[in-house]
Amino acid sequence: MSRKRNEKENQYKLANELYIQERAKEEGMIALDNGVVYKKLEEGRGDKVPKTSSIVYVKYTGKLIDGTVIDTTEGEMLPACFVVRDLIMGWQIILTRMHEGDKVIAYIPWQHGYGKKRVDMIPGYSTLIFEMELVKFEIR
């Protein structure tokens, strides 16, 4: 790797790490020991939360720290459907803390997102920002 590219990558990594640290200081944020930070935007219902084996139905928009949308269900008729254990670790961490109807904004550090390597349009070391609504889930 060229020196210039390595320096740019290090700057990007640092900017993403600082961004999530700053979000953790904001009012209402919950900072977990693993580096994931989130805030509950709307309170759902019930006392059960999904397990890693659960099927979840989620509406979401994912962004990078510069506001670039990387994925969304906006404009879709139905929420996305996943098995929790098949998702990135950051989503697993958040979803297993959510109740049906909860809406959160989650800041996921690169270690619990897509890691060091570029994945499609997502550069390595990217903090991921997801607004998520857990519409419903099925425990399996």
Any idea what the CATH number is for the domain that residue 102 is in? 3.10.50.40
| Sign of the torsion angle spanned by Cα atoms 91, 96, 99, 104 | negative
Nearest to 118 by CA among 64, 81, 73: 64
Domain count, the chain: 1
Mean pLDDT on 67-85: 97
Contact call for residues 138 and 48 (beta carbons, < 8 A): no
Written as six digits, the tokens of 29 are 């944020």
* CA–CA separation, 92 and 8 (whole Å): 30
User: What percent of the chain is helix, strand and coil (3-state, nearest 5)?
Assistant: 25, 30, 45
Q: What is the mean pLDDT of the chain?
A: 96
pLDDT of the residue at 4: 73
- Work out the average pLDDT over 71-81: 97
Res 54: pLDDT: 98
| Domain coverage including residue 63 | 3-138
Say what the pTM is: 0.94
The pLDDT score that the predictor gives to residue 27 is 97
Q: Are 96 and 50 in contact (CB under 8 A)?
A: yes
* pLDDT tens digit sequence for 16-66: 999 999 999 999 999 999 999 999 999 999 899 999 999 999 999 999 999
Tens digit of pLDDT for each residue in 86-105?
999 999 999 999 999 999 99
